Amino acid sequence: MRVGITILSIGILVCAFGIIFYLQGNSIVGPTSSFMYSNPKWIVNGQWIAVSGALIFAAGLGISLRRPRS
């Protein structure tokens, strides 16, 4: 059960970073001196990182909801 919760937490964190990177690439958030600010490459990178985080979250959810067979 703890493994599922740990994976859920990691998935949320990775997804949050992906969203932040996406927003920085779109010039919505972050300092203008950042190399990610207004950079189209980080729009795509942020999307993939957010999707990866969502997949990690889904795996953690599946692990935590799995019931042992008795």
The residues spanned by each domain of the chain are 2-65
pTM of the model: 0.88
| Euclidean distance between CA atoms 47 and 15, whole angstroms | 9
> How far is residue 31 CA from its own chain's centroid?
21
Convert the pLDDT of each residue in 15-68 to its tens digit.
999 999 999 999 999 898 999 999 999 999 999 999 999 999 999 999 988 876
pLDDT at residue 57, as a whole number = 97
| Euclidean distance between CA atoms 31 and 8, whole angstroms | 29
